[in-house]
Amino acid sequence: MFKYLKQLTSLVAMVAVLFTFTTETMAAKKSKTLKNTIKKDFVRCGVSQGLPGFSNADAAGNWTGVDVDVCRAVAAAVLGDANKVKFTPLSAKERFTALTSGEIDILSRNTTWTLSRDADLGVTFVGVNFYDGQGFMVRKDSGITSTSQFKNGISACTNIGTTTELNMRDFFNSKGISYEPVAFEKADEVVAAYDSGRCDTYTTDKSGLAAQRTKMTNPDDHLVLPETISKEPLGPVVRQGDAVWEDIVRWSLNVMIEAEEYGISSANASMMKTSENPAIKRLVGTEGELGSYLGLDQDWSLNIITQVGNYGESYKRNIADTGILPDRGPNNIWTKGGLLYTPPAR
Amino acid sequence: MKIKKILPQLLTLLFIVLVFGFFTMNAQENMSTRGLEFGFGFLNTQASFDIQFSLIDYDGSHTYARAYLVGLLNTLLVAFIGIILATLLGAIVGIARLSPNYLIRKTASFYIEFFRNIPLLLQIFFWYFAALRALPMLEDAPMLLNSSFMTIKGLYAPSPIWINFDVFFTTIIIAMIVIFFFARYAKKKQEQEGKRLPVLIISLAIFTGLPLLTFLIGGVDLSWSFPVIRQMSASSYTFDGGLKIPPELIALTLALTLYTATFIAENVRAGIQGIGKGQKEAAASIGLTPSQVLKLVVMPQALRIIIPPTTNQYLNLTKNSSLAAAIAYPDLVLVFAGTAMMQTGRAIEIVGITMATYLTISLGISLLMNWYNKRIAIQEK
């Protein structure tokens, strides 16, 4: 009798195992990255080596910033916990190699979306989480208030491996100004060199200038010039060849933006479950089956909103309240005069 | 019996081939899933970025291949200057280490122990971010030697403007060839007739006399372009004209020289101490002066001990110059394995080229030093 019982239990176990395999959704099967992420139980995210407002670690090693929040949103959507992220700080030079070689699964590191990067590097840009443009910072006592006052022989500090290096050349060439490019590998070294007087100007994305200004010996001695010399749409990037993972990251970001559009925040998300508006109901998971299309739980979008918040909350927490760029400018919802416009989540 | 000898070697070879094959296949597969193609065609496309400091004509409209050349030359420049300065300093400190004078001896050993035991990267940071940052701004810089300025933005010195430089240069080469043959003739004469010609004085006369002559009759002329300060804005200045040596090059050369010279100094000391006391005493007893003892007896033998480990230091210095990336000196690693790799995304190709380049430079230095080592080695008769 017991002999049969033993066989029976093993049969039950086998059926159970088979059942779990079949319930694993089609999406998860198709996406190697999603499967690995669930298995590891954390999202592998590449960030900067320290850019306040975007990705910056405090003394205790807690990462904050709008770029960090994109990875946290993906972790909330996929694993149900926004803290299940492993952050890898990367230099501008290392970032794409780290992504294509599989060391990280999302690159969220104030990275400009350009044609050549999208088409030629083996990566895919999934959206824009910050609209930026390249600018210049100068010392106030130089009396310079506009780039039109730049003269031949100016020396400009910047980072290597960025679009900045290319834009800088385009800018100075078009103005016919001779300049000396001084390019460092790490942002902190650029700041130190400019701060000590090695360079007359420091050029990078304006948000970066505003953030790095806070690191100067005396921030009030420096001025970010009003001109913007380039378009820099910054956004998260994934490896090419995993369409499901690409969709998950894209829509995790879109949920944050659309949640703000419909006024859903981390504070009121659970109350919104009873809303009359079907668009809101879809976002908080009480209508439709959006999660299953992506191979995720029904609560994926609700988890993003309650744990990370909508885009506006993320911006306020990381960029406005820290005094980096209090004015949202183009980084506002399209209904409020900004550029943030997402396809509908339905 | 034979199989027993060959089999392990065959297995090792097979293993190496398999490992390489696996890595190649893996890379190919991963690249194709990401839509990447392997190829060197990118080298002929426009680089679109500027480089701060270049020995050849370069701007962003040139190709990546040209940018590679700029980086390579900058690496060779810093390695060349570094090797020469480190050798000179190393030789002096090495000899000072053996000085009978207490103060000189102790200063030399303090210098060696201090600089040898601090990581090179820290020293580079020290020179660049601490020492050179303390230099004055351009408008406050005092004039040195009535012509140059040492400032936070670098060293500004007069640059020579040549007329018919090629004539002058050719004459120098001719002078060197003449001196070479003259020295051989003088040596032969001394061996055959025992007569000593004043080789040094005559060589110097040829070396300075011939090129000077071109100024008088060859149409060669030299004038100087002096750096002149110009105000760019209320607080920033620049120099026009003259020659500019960037602070990145100065800091890197200083750090590499001071660090590597400590090791060379120890090699020199070991080489000199490796020569038996009896040799020196014997040389002195046949009436050679102390400088002749050093030149004719000690050094030829000491060099045999000094050269092989010093070759290693030359190689180290060259490879260490890649730390330049930390302080924005545009060497091969910063320009090619940095910016170019980033802009093209050709990680495998570019890292491959860079590795092959460093290997070639190192093997070149090795070959040269091995040839020299063989030349000065004891020739058994």
β-strand partners of B144: B148
Whether A4 maps to a domain, the answer reads no
Q: Tell me if A162 and B342 make a contact (CB, 8 A cut-off).
A: yes
- Flag whether B292 is in a domain: yes
Using only the alpha carbons of chain B, give its radius of gyration: 26
Residue B35, both tokens:
């839509």
Q: Look up tokens 């993320």; give the residue.
A: A314
pLDDT at A131: 95
Distance of CA A110 to the CA centre of its chain: 6
Tally of domains within chain B? 1
| Closest C-alpha among B355, B354, B348, B267 to residue B311 | B267
Check CB contact of B347 with chain A, cutoff 8 Å: yes
In this predicted structure, the answer to whether residue A14 has a pLDDT above a threshold of 70 is no
Average pLDDT for B281-303: 87
- Please state which of the ranges A166-180, A311-325, B180-194 shows the lowest mean pLDDT: B180-194
Q: Which domain holds residue A91?
A: 26-131+234-336
Residue B208 lies in a domain: no
Regarding predicted confidence, which is higher, A125 or A160? A125
**A90 occurs within a structural domain:** yes
Nearest CA of chain A to the CA of B289: how many Å? 53
Whether B203 is in a domain gets the answer no
Answer whether residue B54 is part of any domain. Answer: no
Question: A94 with A45, same domain?
Answer: yes
* CB pair distance less than 8 Å for B342 and A92: yes
- Residue A346 structure tokens: 């339905």
> Residues B62-89: what's their mean pLDDT?
95
| Residue B345 backbone phi and psi in degrees, to 5 | 75, 10
Name the more confident of B316 and A5.
Answer: B316
Domain CATH code at residue A225: 3.40.190.10
Across the interface, do A155 and B153 touch by the CB < 8 Å criterion? Answer: yes
Which pLDDT score is estimated for A264?
94
For residue B235, the 8-state DSSP code is: S
Query: Does B226 map to a domain?
Result: no
Please, are residues A182 and A193 in contact by the beta-carbon 8 Å criterion?
Answer: yes
For the cut 80, the answer to whether the pLDDT of residue B64 exceeds it is yes
pLDDT for A22 beyond 50: no
> How many structural domains are present in chain A?
2
Tell whether A295 and A328 lie within a shared domain: yes
- Say if A96 is an interface residue toward chain B (CB within 8 Å): yes
pLDDT single digits (tens) B213-260: 887 777 778 888 888 888 888 888 888 888 889 999 999 999 999 999
> What share of chain A in percent tops pLDDT 90?
63
pLDDT beyond 60 at A17 = no
- Is B234's CB within 8 Å of A142's CB? yes
A127 & A173 share domain: no
pLDDT for residue A123 is more than 60: yes
**Pairwise CA distance, residues A181 & A174, whole Å:** 16
pLDDT band at A202 (very low <50, low <70, confident <90, very high): very high
Do the domain assignments include residue B355? yes
User: By percentage, how much of chain A surpasses pLDDT 70?
Assistant: 92
Least confident of A212-221, A327-336, B13-22, B255-264: A212-221
pLDDT digits (tens, 9 = 90+) for B162-216: 887 888 888 889 889 998 998 888 888 888 887 777 888 888 888 888 878 887 7
Q: Please give the average per-residue pLDDT across B18-47, as a whole number.
A: 84
Distance CA A56, CA B42 (A): 35
Give the separation between CA B47 and CA B64, rounded to whole angstroms: 5
Question: Which of the listed residues A171, A204, A230 is the one where a domain comes to its end?
Answer: A230
Decide if B152 and A196 are in contact by the 8 Å CB cutoff.
yes
Chain A stretch 132-171, residues whose beta carbon is closer than 8 A to a beta carbon of chain B: 138-139, 141-144, 149-155, 160-162, 165-166, 168-169
A217 shares its domain with A241: no
Distances (CA, A) of B114 to A35, B139, B154, B324, B365: 54, 35, 27, 22, 28
Q: How far apart are CA B154 and CA B327, in angstroms?
A: 13
State the Cα–Cα distance between residues A92 and A112, nearest whole angstrom. 11
Asked if residue A174 and residue A110 are part of one domain, the reply reads no
* Arithmetic mean of pLDDT, A179-197: 89
- DSSP assignment of B38-64, as one string? --SGGGGSB-----S--SS---TTSBH
In a domain, residue A2? The reply is: no
Strands (E), B158-254: 159-163, 221-225, 228-231, 237-240, 243-245
What length is written for chain A? Answer: 346
Residue B206 lies in a domain: no
Q: Looking at the DSSP assignment, which residues form a beta bridge with residue B162?
A: B222
Asked if B328 and A189 come within 8 Å (Cβ–Cβ), the reply is: yes
Question: Among the three residues A169, A197, A230, which one is the final residue of a domain in this structure?
Answer: A230
User: Is residue A6 in a domain?
Assistant: no
The residue segments making up the domain with residue B261 are: 64-135+246-376
Residues A189 and A316 in one domain: no
What CATH number does residue B349 fall under? 1.10.3720.10
B342–chain A nearest CA distance, Å: 5
Option in B153, B230, B347 nearest A198 (CB): B153
Does B235 lie at the interface with A, CB-CB under 8 angstroms?
A: yes
What are A71's two structure tokens? Answer: 């990875």
Q: Are residues A116 and A178 in the same domain?
A: no
CB contact under 8 A, B235 and A198: no
Q: Is residue A3, in this structure, part of any structural domain at all?
A: no
User: Residues A290-303: pLDDT tens digits?
Assistant: 998 999 989 999 99
Residue B106 lies in a domain: yes
From the CA of B276, how many Å to the nearest CA of chain A?
A: 51
Q: If DSSP codes are grouped into helix, strand and coil, which group holds residue A212?
A: helix
pLDDT higher than threshold 50 for residue A207 = yes
Q: What are the C-alpha distances in Å from A39 to residues A28, A32, A78, A329, B25?
A: 11, 10, 11, 40, 26
- Does some domain include residue A152? yes
Judged against a pLDDT cut of 70, whether residue B279 lies above it is answered with yes
